[in-house]
Amino acid sequence: MVNVAILGFGTVGSGVAEVLCGHESSIARKADGLIRLKYILDVRDFPDSPFKDCFVKDFTVIENDPEVDIVVETIGGAGVALDFTRRALEAGKSVVTSNKELVAAHGYELTRLAQEKGVCYLFEASVGGGIPIIRPLSQCLAANEILEIYGILNGTTNYILTRMIRAGLSFEAALAEAQEKGYAERDPSADVDGHDACRKICILAAIAFGRHIYPEQVPTEGIRGISLADVDYAESAGKKIKLLGRAIRLDDGRVCAYVAPHLVDQSDPLAGVEDVFNAITVRGDAIGDVMFYGRGAGKLPTASAVVADVMDVARNLGHRKALLWDEGGQDAAGGVAEFKSRWYVRAAATADELKHALGGKLPAGRGTGDGEAACLTDEAMTRAELDRRLAGLEPLSVIRVLD
Ligand code: NDP
Ligand code: HSE
Protein backbone atom coordinates (compact mmCIF):
# COMPACT_ATOMS: atom_id res chain seq x y z
CA MET A 1 0.00 0.00 0.00
CA VAL A 2 1.12 3.53 -0.84
CA ASN A 3 0.25 6.36 1.59
CA VAL A 4 -0.52 9.89 0.47
CA ALA A 5 -0.71 13.20 2.35
CA ILE A 6 -2.44 16.24 0.84
CA LEU A 7 -1.22 19.70 1.83
CA GLY A 8 -3.97 22.31 1.34
CA PHE A 9 -7.65 21.27 1.19
CA GLY A 10 -8.90 24.02 -1.14
CA THR A 11 -10.31 23.72 -4.66
CA VAL A 12 -7.64 21.36 -6.00
CA GLY A 13 -6.73 19.53 -2.76
CA SER A 14 -10.37 18.64 -2.04
CA GLY A 15 -10.74 17.46 -5.65
CA VAL A 16 -7.70 15.22 -5.24
CA ALA A 17 -9.18 13.63 -2.08
CA GLU A 18 -12.50 13.11 -3.87
CA VAL A 19 -10.99 11.47 -6.97
CA LEU A 20 -8.42 9.42 -5.02
CA CYS A 21 -11.02 7.97 -2.67
CA GLY A 22 -13.98 7.97 -5.08
CA HIS A 23 -12.10 5.88 -7.64
CA GLU A 24 -10.18 3.81 -5.09
CA SER A 25 -10.62 0.36 -6.62
CA SER A 26 -10.02 1.31 -10.27
CA ILE A 27 -7.00 3.37 -9.19
CA ALA A 28 -5.68 0.40 -7.20
CA ARG A 29 -6.06 -1.81 -10.26
CA LYS A 30 -4.28 0.62 -12.57
CA ALA A 31 -1.59 1.57 -10.06
CA ASP A 32 -0.81 -2.06 -9.09
CA GLY A 33 -1.85 -1.56 -5.46
CA LEU A 34 -3.94 0.40 -3.01
CA ILE A 35 -3.29 4.14 -2.65
CA ARG A 36 -4.49 5.35 0.75
CA LEU A 37 -5.17 8.95 1.73
CA LYS A 38 -3.55 9.09 5.18
CA TYR A 39 -3.33 12.80 6.01
CA ILE A 40 -4.71 16.15 4.95
CA LEU A 41 -2.98 19.28 6.21
CA ASP A 42 -4.89 22.55 6.25
CA VAL A 43 -5.03 25.63 8.45
CA ARG A 44 -8.84 25.42 8.65
CA ASP A 45 -11.08 22.81 10.30
CA PHE A 46 -13.44 20.70 8.20
CA PRO A 47 -15.62 18.93 10.81
CA ASP A 48 -18.26 17.89 8.27
CA SER A 49 -15.85 16.52 5.69
CA PRO A 50 -16.01 12.80 4.88
CA PHE A 51 -12.22 12.92 5.27
CA LYS A 52 -12.35 14.52 8.77
CA ASP A 53 -10.28 11.74 10.35
CA CYS A 54 -7.35 12.53 8.05
CA PHE A 55 -6.84 16.16 9.09
CA VAL A 56 -3.69 17.35 10.84
CA LYS A 57 -2.39 20.85 11.51
CA ASP A 58 1.30 20.15 11.96
CA PHE A 59 3.45 19.35 8.91
CA THR A 60 6.03 17.51 11.05
CA VAL A 61 3.47 14.71 11.56
CA ILE A 62 3.62 14.06 7.81
CA GLU A 63 7.33 14.77 7.48
CA ASN A 64 8.21 12.30 10.25
CA ASP A 65 5.82 9.50 9.28
CA PRO A 66 7.86 6.89 7.38
CA GLU A 67 4.63 5.41 6.00
CA VAL A 68 3.97 8.53 3.89
CA ASP A 69 5.36 7.91 0.40
CA ILE A 70 3.79 10.76 -1.59
CA VAL A 71 3.02 14.33 -0.59
CA VAL A 72 0.54 16.26 -2.74
CA GLU A 73 1.19 20.00 -2.44
CA THR A 74 -1.91 22.04 -3.32
CA ILE A 75 -1.42 25.02 -1.02
CA GLY A 76 -0.09 27.28 -3.75
CA GLY A 77 2.39 30.16 -3.72
CA ALA A 78 6.12 30.05 -3.14
CA GLY A 79 6.17 30.58 0.64
CA VAL A 80 5.21 27.75 2.96
CA ALA A 81 4.69 25.50 -0.08
CA LEU A 82 8.41 25.78 -0.89
CA ASP A 83 9.40 24.97 2.69
CA PHE A 84 7.08 21.93 2.87
CA THR A 85 8.17 20.68 -0.57
CA ARG A 86 11.85 20.89 0.30
CA ARG A 87 11.28 19.13 3.62
CA ALA A 88 9.16 16.38 2.07
CA LEU A 89 11.81 15.70 -0.60
CA GLU A 90 14.59 15.81 2.04
CA ALA A 91 12.60 13.23 4.01
CA GLY A 92 12.66 10.92 0.96
CA LYS A 93 9.03 11.43 -0.06
CA SER A 94 7.94 12.06 -3.63
CA VAL A 95 6.02 15.28 -4.21
CA VAL A 96 3.22 15.90 -6.71
CA THR A 97 1.95 19.45 -7.24
CA SER A 98 -0.36 21.73 -9.20
CA ASN A 99 1.60 24.79 -8.04
CA LYS A 100 3.01 26.50 -11.15
CA GLU A 101 4.27 29.50 -9.22
CA LEU A 102 6.59 27.21 -7.28
CA VAL A 103 7.71 25.15 -10.29
CA ALA A 104 8.35 28.26 -12.41
CA ALA A 105 10.44 29.90 -9.68
CA HIS A 106 12.13 26.87 -8.05
CA GLY A 107 11.64 23.95 -10.45
CA TYR A 108 15.34 23.64 -11.23
CA GLU A 109 16.28 23.37 -7.55
CA LEU A 110 13.38 21.06 -6.64
CA THR A 111 13.84 18.62 -9.52
CA ARG A 112 17.57 18.38 -8.62
CA LEU A 113 16.74 17.82 -4.96
CA ALA A 114 14.30 15.07 -5.94
CA GLN A 115 17.01 13.48 -8.11
CA GLU A 116 19.53 13.65 -5.26
CA LYS A 117 17.08 11.99 -2.88
CA GLY A 118 16.03 9.33 -5.40
CA VAL A 119 12.38 10.41 -5.38
CA CYS A 120 10.03 12.15 -7.85
CA TYR A 121 8.83 15.71 -8.22
CA LEU A 122 5.92 15.70 -10.69
CA PHE A 123 3.71 18.63 -11.77
CA GLU A 124 1.45 17.62 -14.67
CA ALA A 125 -1.38 19.79 -13.25
CA SER A 126 0.77 22.90 -13.14
CA VAL A 127 0.12 23.66 -16.84
CA GLY A 128 -3.23 23.35 -18.58
CA GLY A 129 -5.19 22.03 -15.56
CA GLY A 130 -6.53 18.64 -16.68
CA ILE A 131 -4.83 18.64 -20.10
CA PRO A 132 -2.00 16.14 -20.44
CA ILE A 133 0.90 18.31 -21.66
CA ILE A 134 3.97 17.90 -19.40
CA ARG A 135 4.21 14.15 -19.94
CA PRO A 136 3.45 14.25 -23.71
CA LEU A 137 6.00 17.05 -24.16
CA SER A 138 8.73 15.36 -22.13
CA GLN A 139 8.07 11.80 -23.29
CA CYS A 140 5.87 11.37 -26.38
CA LEU A 141 7.50 14.28 -28.26
CA ALA A 142 11.01 13.66 -26.93
CA ALA A 143 12.35 12.67 -30.35
CA ASN A 144 11.67 16.16 -31.75
CA GLU A 145 13.64 19.35 -31.61
CA ILE A 146 10.92 21.64 -30.33
CA LEU A 147 10.73 24.84 -32.36
CA GLU A 148 7.86 26.67 -30.69
CA ILE A 149 5.13 26.33 -28.08
CA TYR A 150 2.21 28.69 -27.89
CA GLY A 151 -1.30 28.68 -26.61
CA ILE A 152 -4.09 29.75 -24.34
CA LEU A 153 -2.65 28.91 -20.94
CA ASN A 154 -5.02 30.60 -18.52
CA GLY A 155 -8.60 29.43 -18.00
CA THR A 156 -9.76 32.44 -16.01
CA THR A 157 -8.86 35.05 -18.64
CA ASN A 158 -10.25 32.91 -21.46
CA TYR A 159 -13.44 32.52 -19.43
CA ILE A 160 -13.61 36.30 -18.87
CA LEU A 161 -13.03 37.11 -22.56
CA THR A 162 -15.65 34.54 -23.61
CA ARG A 163 -18.27 35.87 -21.16
CA MET A 164 -17.59 39.47 -22.16
CA ILE A 165 -18.00 38.63 -25.85
CA ARG A 166 -20.84 36.08 -25.69
CA ALA A 167 -22.92 37.41 -22.79
CA GLY A 168 -21.88 41.07 -22.84
CA LEU A 169 -20.82 40.79 -19.18
CA SER A 170 -18.59 43.45 -17.67
CA PHE A 171 -15.01 42.48 -16.90
CA GLU A 172 -15.76 42.56 -13.14
CA ALA A 173 -18.88 40.37 -13.44
CA ALA A 174 -17.05 37.81 -15.61
CA LEU A 175 -14.13 37.68 -13.15
CA ALA A 176 -16.54 37.18 -10.22
CA GLU A 177 -18.04 34.17 -12.06
CA ALA A 178 -14.57 32.69 -12.65
CA GLN A 179 -13.77 33.09 -8.94
CA GLU A 180 -17.08 31.50 -7.97
CA LYS A 181 -16.26 28.49 -10.15
CA GLY A 182 -12.85 28.04 -8.49
CA TYR A 183 -10.84 28.89 -11.63
CA ALA A 184 -9.06 32.02 -10.45
CA GLU A 185 -5.88 32.28 -8.43
CA ARG A 186 -6.10 33.42 -4.80
CA ASP A 187 -4.96 36.83 -6.08
CA PRO A 188 -6.80 37.01 -9.43
CA SER A 189 -4.45 39.69 -10.74
CA ALA A 190 -2.09 36.73 -11.35
CA ASP A 191 -4.60 35.60 -13.98
CA VAL A 192 -5.72 38.98 -15.32
CA ASP A 193 -2.22 40.48 -15.60
CA GLY A 194 -0.77 37.42 -17.31
CA HIS A 195 1.56 36.20 -14.53
CA ASP A 196 -0.09 32.78 -14.33
CA ALA A 197 0.30 32.24 -18.09
CA CYS A 198 3.88 33.49 -17.76
CA ARG A 199 4.67 30.86 -15.11
CA LYS A 200 3.19 28.16 -17.34
CA ILE A 201 5.14 29.17 -20.45
CA CYS A 202 8.32 29.15 -18.31
CA ILE A 203 7.63 25.54 -17.27
CA LEU A 204 6.87 24.44 -20.83
CA ALA A 205 9.95 26.24 -22.16
CA ALA A 206 12.21 24.58 -19.57
CA ILE A 207 10.96 21.13 -20.57
CA ALA A 208 11.00 21.85 -24.31
CA PHE A 209 14.27 23.75 -24.58
CA GLY A 210 16.24 22.33 -21.65
CA ARG A 211 17.07 25.41 -19.53
CA HIS A 212 15.22 27.11 -16.70
CA ILE A 213 13.47 30.26 -17.86
CA TYR A 214 12.50 32.56 -14.98
CA PRO A 215 9.23 34.56 -15.00
CA GLU A 216 11.25 37.80 -14.65
CA GLN A 217 12.80 37.04 -18.07
CA VAL A 218 9.42 36.89 -19.83
CA PRO A 219 7.74 40.18 -20.85
CA THR A 220 4.16 39.80 -19.69
CA GLU A 221 0.98 41.66 -20.48
CA GLY A 222 -2.55 40.70 -19.41
CA ILE A 223 -6.06 41.51 -20.57
CA ARG A 224 -6.88 44.61 -18.50
CA GLY A 225 -6.36 46.88 -21.51
CA ILE A 226 -8.79 44.98 -23.79
CA SER A 227 -12.04 46.87 -24.41
CA LEU A 228 -15.27 45.82 -26.09
CA ALA A 229 -14.33 48.23 -28.90
CA ASP A 230 -11.20 46.11 -29.54
CA VAL A 231 -13.28 42.94 -29.52
CA ASP A 232 -15.65 44.55 -32.03
CA TYR A 233 -12.90 45.78 -34.34
CA ALA A 234 -11.23 42.35 -34.17
CA GLU A 235 -14.49 40.62 -35.13
CA SER A 236 -14.99 42.88 -38.11
CA ALA A 237 -11.49 41.90 -39.25
CA GLY A 238 -12.39 38.19 -38.90
CA LYS A 239 -10.33 37.74 -35.72
CA LYS A 240 -10.73 37.00 -32.01
CA ILE A 241 -8.67 38.30 -29.11
CA LYS A 242 -6.92 35.63 -27.04
CA LEU A 243 -4.28 35.86 -24.31
CA LEU A 244 -1.37 33.71 -25.48
CA GLY A 245 1.89 32.51 -23.97
CA ARG A 246 4.62 31.89 -26.55
CA ALA A 247 8.10 30.42 -26.44
CA ILE A 248 10.17 30.22 -29.62
CA ARG A 249 13.64 28.73 -29.97
CA LEU A 250 15.93 31.25 -31.66
CA ASP A 251 18.87 30.29 -33.89
CA ASP A 252 21.32 31.62 -31.27
CA GLY A 253 19.93 29.15 -28.70
CA ARG A 254 17.98 31.69 -26.65
CA VAL A 255 14.29 31.28 -25.97
CA CYS A 256 12.09 34.18 -27.06
CA ALA A 257 9.21 33.94 -24.56
CA TYR A 258 6.42 36.37 -23.82
CA VAL A 259 2.77 36.59 -22.76
CA ALA A 260 0.39 39.02 -24.47
CA PRO A 261 -3.08 39.29 -25.99
CA HIS A 262 -3.16 38.45 -29.72
CA LEU A 263 -5.60 38.81 -32.57
CA VAL A 264 -6.15 35.25 -33.77
CA ASP A 265 -7.78 34.47 -37.11
CA GLN A 266 -11.28 32.95 -36.86
CA SER A 267 -10.00 30.02 -38.93
CA ASP A 268 -7.27 29.23 -36.36
CA PRO A 269 -8.31 26.43 -33.97
CA LEU A 270 -7.32 28.70 -31.05
CA ALA A 271 -10.17 31.07 -31.98
CA GLY A 272 -12.70 28.36 -31.11
CA VAL A 273 -11.22 27.73 -27.66
CA GLU A 274 -13.72 29.26 -25.26
CA ASP A 275 -14.77 29.36 -21.63
CA VAL A 276 -12.29 27.75 -19.19
CA PHE A 277 -10.72 25.65 -21.94
CA ASN A 278 -7.01 25.93 -22.77
CA ALA A 279 -5.21 24.85 -25.93
CA ILE A 280 -1.49 24.45 -26.41
CA THR A 281 0.24 23.98 -29.76
CA VAL A 282 3.68 22.36 -29.81
CA ARG A 283 5.70 22.63 -33.03
CA GLY A 284 8.33 19.91 -33.41
CA ASP A 285 10.75 19.43 -36.29
CA ALA A 286 9.55 15.88 -36.92
CA ILE A 287 5.88 15.97 -35.93
CA GLY A 288 4.97 19.46 -37.15
CA ASP A 289 2.14 20.99 -35.12
CA VAL A 290 0.32 19.08 -32.40
CA MET A 291 -2.38 20.64 -30.26
CA PHE A 292 -3.53 19.79 -26.74
CA TYR A 293 -7.00 20.92 -25.68
CA GLY A 294 -9.15 20.60 -22.58
CA ARG A 295 -10.27 22.16 -19.33
CA GLY A 296 -7.50 24.42 -18.10
CA ALA A 297 -8.73 24.92 -14.54
CA GLY A 298 -11.29 23.70 -12.03
CA LYS A 299 -11.46 21.24 -9.15
CA LEU A 300 -11.94 17.86 -10.83
CA PRO A 301 -10.07 18.45 -14.12
CA THR A 302 -7.02 19.55 -12.13
CA ALA A 303 -7.43 16.70 -9.65
CA SER A 304 -7.46 14.32 -12.63
CA ALA A 305 -3.92 15.41 -13.54
CA VAL A 306 -2.66 15.40 -9.93
CA VAL A 307 -4.01 11.92 -9.19
CA ALA A 308 -2.52 10.56 -12.43
CA ASP A 309 0.88 11.79 -11.22
CA VAL A 310 0.28 10.15 -7.84
CA MET A 311 -0.54 6.87 -9.61
CA ASP A 312 2.57 7.22 -11.76
CA VAL A 313 4.75 7.60 -8.66
CA ALA A 314 2.95 4.74 -6.88
CA ARG A 315 3.43 2.42 -9.84
CA ASN A 316 7.12 3.25 -10.02
CA LEU A 317 7.89 3.56 -6.31
CA GLY A 318 11.61 3.10 -5.80
CA HIS A 319 12.30 3.85 -9.47
CA ARG A 320 12.80 7.58 -9.76
CA LYS A 321 11.08 9.30 -12.72
CA ALA A 322 13.26 12.28 -13.51
CA LEU A 323 12.09 15.43 -15.23
CA LEU A 324 15.22 17.53 -15.41
CA TRP A 325 16.56 20.60 -17.20
CA ASP A 326 19.65 22.77 -16.91
CA GLU A 327 20.17 25.89 -14.90
CA GLY A 328 18.87 29.17 -16.32
CA GLY A 329 20.82 32.40 -16.79
CA GLN A 330 20.87 35.77 -18.52
CA ASP A 331 21.70 34.12 -21.84
CA ALA A 332 18.80 31.63 -21.70
CA ALA A 333 16.03 34.02 -22.76
CA GLY A 334 15.67 37.16 -24.86
CA GLY A 335 14.88 38.48 -28.29
CA VAL A 336 11.33 39.73 -27.68
CA ALA A 337 12.26 43.33 -28.59
CA GLU A 338 13.51 42.11 -32.00
CA PHE A 339 10.55 39.79 -32.56
CA LYS A 340 8.42 41.03 -35.47
CA SER A 341 4.62 40.78 -35.67
CA ARG A 342 1.81 42.36 -37.56
CA TRP A 343 -0.10 44.65 -35.22
CA TYR A 344 -3.61 45.85 -34.45
CA VAL A 345 -3.71 49.47 -33.34
CA ARG A 346 -6.69 51.51 -32.11
CA ALA A 347 -5.91 55.18 -31.79
CA ALA A 348 -7.50 58.54 -31.14
CA ALA A 349 -6.96 59.50 -34.78
CA THR A 350 -8.80 59.64 -38.06
CA ALA A 351 -8.77 56.66 -40.38
CA ASP A 352 -6.67 58.69 -42.81
CA GLU A 353 -4.06 59.52 -40.15
CA LEU A 354 -3.76 55.86 -39.15
CA LYS A 355 -3.64 54.64 -42.74
CA HIS A 356 -0.94 57.19 -43.50
CA ALA A 357 1.15 56.09 -40.47
CA LEU A 358 0.73 52.33 -40.77
CA GLY A 359 -0.78 51.37 -44.11
CA GLY A 360 -2.68 48.09 -43.82
CA LYS A 361 -6.39 47.40 -43.32
CA LEU A 362 -8.93 49.52 -41.48
CA PRO A 363 -11.58 47.25 -39.95
CA ALA A 364 -15.03 48.69 -39.29
CA GLY A 365 -16.09 48.71 -35.65
CA ARG A 366 -18.09 50.42 -32.98
CA GLY A 367 -15.46 53.08 -32.42
CA THR A 368 -15.56 54.29 -36.02
CA GLY A 369 -16.71 57.88 -36.17
CA ASP A 370 -16.16 58.46 -32.42
CA GLY A 371 -12.83 60.24 -32.80
CA GLU A 372 -10.94 56.96 -33.09
CA ALA A 373 -10.00 54.42 -35.72
CA ALA A 374 -8.33 51.03 -35.84
CA CYS A 375 -5.82 49.49 -38.20
CA LEU A 376 -4.23 46.10 -38.88
CA THR A 377 -0.75 46.44 -40.33
CA ASP A 378 0.13 44.42 -43.43
CA GLU A 379 3.78 44.49 -42.52
CA ALA A 380 5.41 42.61 -39.62
CA MET A 381 7.58 44.91 -37.51
CA THR A 382 9.11 45.21 -34.06
CA ARG A 383 7.29 47.11 -31.33
CA ALA A 384 9.95 49.83 -31.51
CA GLU A 385 9.34 50.29 -35.25
CA LEU A 386 5.58 50.43 -34.65
CA ASP A 387 6.03 53.08 -31.93
CA ARG A 388 8.25 55.09 -34.28
CA ARG A 389 5.55 55.05 -36.97
CA LEU A 390 2.89 56.00 -34.43
CA ALA A 391 4.83 59.04 -33.23
CA GLY A 392 2.45 61.98 -32.77
CA LEU A 393 -0.64 59.76 -32.62
CA GLU A 394 -2.38 58.63 -29.44
CA PRO A 395 -2.67 54.82 -29.41
CA LEU A 396 -5.50 53.50 -27.22
CA SER A 397 -4.76 49.84 -27.80
CA VAL A 398 -1.87 47.94 -29.38
CA ILE A 399 -2.17 44.16 -29.84
CA ARG A 400 -0.02 41.65 -31.73
CA VAL A 401 -1.52 39.59 -34.56
CA LEU A 402 -0.82 35.85 -34.56
CA ASP A 403 0.25 34.77 -38.06
P1 NDP B 1 -7.10 27.25 -2.70
O2 NDP B 1 -6.82 28.59 -2.14
O3 NDP B 1 -8.51 26.89 -3.02
O4 NDP B 1 -6.52 26.11 -1.74
C5 NDP B 1 -5.37 26.25 -0.95
C6 NDP B 1 -5.66 25.63 0.41
O7 NDP B 1 -4.46 25.61 1.19
C8 NDP B 1 -6.71 26.44 1.21
O9 NDP B 1 -7.61 25.57 1.85
C10 NDP B 1 -5.83 27.16 2.21
O11 NDP B 1 -6.51 27.51 3.40
C12 NDP B 1 -4.77 26.12 2.47
N13 NDP B 1 -3.58 26.66 3.11
C14 NDP B 1 -3.08 27.91 3.06
N15 NDP B 1 -1.96 28.00 3.81
C16 NDP B 1 -1.76 26.78 4.34
C17 NDP B 1 -0.79 26.26 5.23
N18 NDP B 1 0.20 26.99 5.70
N19 NDP B 1 -0.90 24.98 5.59
C20 NDP B 1 -1.90 24.21 5.14
N21 NDP B 1 -2.88 24.66 4.30
C22 NDP B 1 -2.79 25.93 3.92
O23 NDP B 1 -6.21 27.10 -4.00
P24 NDP B 1 -6.45 26.12 -5.23
O25 NDP B 1 -6.83 24.78 -4.77
O26 NDP B 1 -7.27 26.80 -6.25
O27 NDP B 1 -4.96 26.08 -5.86
C28 NDP B 1 -3.92 25.34 -5.26
C29 NDP B 1 -2.72 25.35 -6.20
O30 NDP B 1 -3.08 24.73 -7.43
C31 NDP B 1 -2.24 26.75 -6.58
O32 NDP B 1 -0.86 26.70 -6.77
C33 NDP B 1 -2.94 27.02 -7.91
O34 NDP B 1 -2.23 27.94 -8.71
C35 NDP B 1 -2.91 25.64 -8.52
N36 NDP B 1 -3.92 25.35 -9.51
C37 NDP B 1 -5.22 25.70 -9.30
C38 NDP B 1 -6.19 25.37 -10.23
C39 NDP B 1 -7.61 25.73 -10.04
O40 NDP B 1 -8.39 25.51 -10.98
N41 NDP B 1 -8.02 26.27 -8.90
C42 NDP B 1 -5.83 24.65 -11.46
C43 NDP B 1 -4.43 24.32 -11.58
C44 NDP B 1 -3.53 24.66 -10.63
P45 NDP B 1 -7.17 28.99 3.51
O46 NDP B 1 -8.14 29.10 2.38
O47 NDP B 1 -7.79 29.03 4.86
O48 NDP B 1 -6.03 29.95 3.37
N1 HSE C 1 -5.98 30.29 -12.34
C2 HSE C 1 -5.55 29.31 -13.27
C3 HSE C 1 -6.29 29.48 -14.57
C4 HSE C 1 -5.77 27.94 -12.71
O5 HSE C 1 -7.33 30.13 -14.56
O6 HSE C 1 -5.84 28.97 -15.60
C7 HSE C 1 -5.23 26.83 -13.58
O8 HSE C 1 -3.83 26.84 -13.60
Could you give the number of structural domains in the chain? Answer: 3
Residue 329 lies in a domain: no
Q: Are residues 188 and 279 in the same domain?
A: yes
Closest Cα to atom 14, ligand 1: which residue? Answer: 75
Q: Are residues 265 and 116 in the same domain?
A: no
At 64, which CATH number?
A: 3.40.50.720
Residue 336 lies in a domain: no
Percent of residues, the chain, with pLDDT higher than 70: 99
Q: Are residues 229 and 261 in the same domain?
A: yes
Instruction: Provide the domain limits for residue 191.
Output: 134-295
Q: Are residues 254 and 285 in the same domain?
A: yes
Residue 320 lies in a domain: no
Residue 378's alpha-carbon distances to 42, 230, 362, in angstroms, are 55, 18, 11
Q: Are residues 382 and 235 in the same domain?
A: no
Q: Are residues 145 and 63 in the same domain?
A: no
Query: Is 302 close to ligand 1, i.e. is its CB under 6 Å away?
Result: yes
Residue 225 has pLDDT above 60, yes or no: yes
Q: What is the pLDDT of residue 367?
A: 52
Residue 56 has pLDDT above 80, yes or no: yes
Please pick, among 38, 93, 100, 200, the residue that the annotation labels catalytic: 200
Q: Closest Cα partner for 363 from 239, 225, 224?
A: 239
Residue 228 has pLDDT above 90, yes or no: no
Average pLDDT over residues 182-201: 97
Task: Based on the residue annotation, tell me whether 200 is a catalytic residue of this protein.
Answer: yes
Q: Are residues 126 and 139 in the same domain?
A: no
Query: Is 6 close to ligand 1, i.e. is its CB under 6 Å away?
Result: no
Q: What is the pLDDT of residue 77?
A: 98
At 166, which CATH number?
A: 3.30.360.10
Query: Is 286 close to ligand 1, i.e. is its CB under 6 Å away?
Result: no
Average pLDDT over residues 336-349: 96
CA distance 62 to 93: 10
Residue 30 lies in a domain: yes
Backbone angles phi, psi at 60, to 5 degrees: -65, -25
Closest Cα to atom 4, ligand 2: which residue? Answer: 297
Residue 364 has pLDDT above 80, yes or no: no
Q: What is the pLDDT of residue 362?
A: 82
Residue 274 lies in a domain: yes
Q: Are residues 174 and 103 in the same domain?
A: no
Residue 93 lies in a domain: yes
Query: Is 296 close to ligand 1, i.e. is its CB under 6 Å away?
Result: no
**E strand or H helix that includes residue 378:** none
pLDDT tens per residue, range 285-329: 999 999 999 999 999 999 999 999 999 999 988 777 778 999 999
Q: Looking at the whole model, is its pTM more than 0.75?
A: yes
Q: Are residues 86 and 142 in the same domain?
A: no
Residue 37 has pLDDT above 90, yes or no: yes
Q: Are residues 99 and 150 in the same domain?
A: no
Residue 370 has pLDDT above 90, yes or no: no
Residue 154's alpha-carbon distances to 150, 200, 234, 300, 312, in angstroms, are 12, 9, 21, 16, 25
Q: Are residues 227 and 242 in the same domain?
A: yes
Q: Are residues 185 and 244 in the same domain?
A: yes
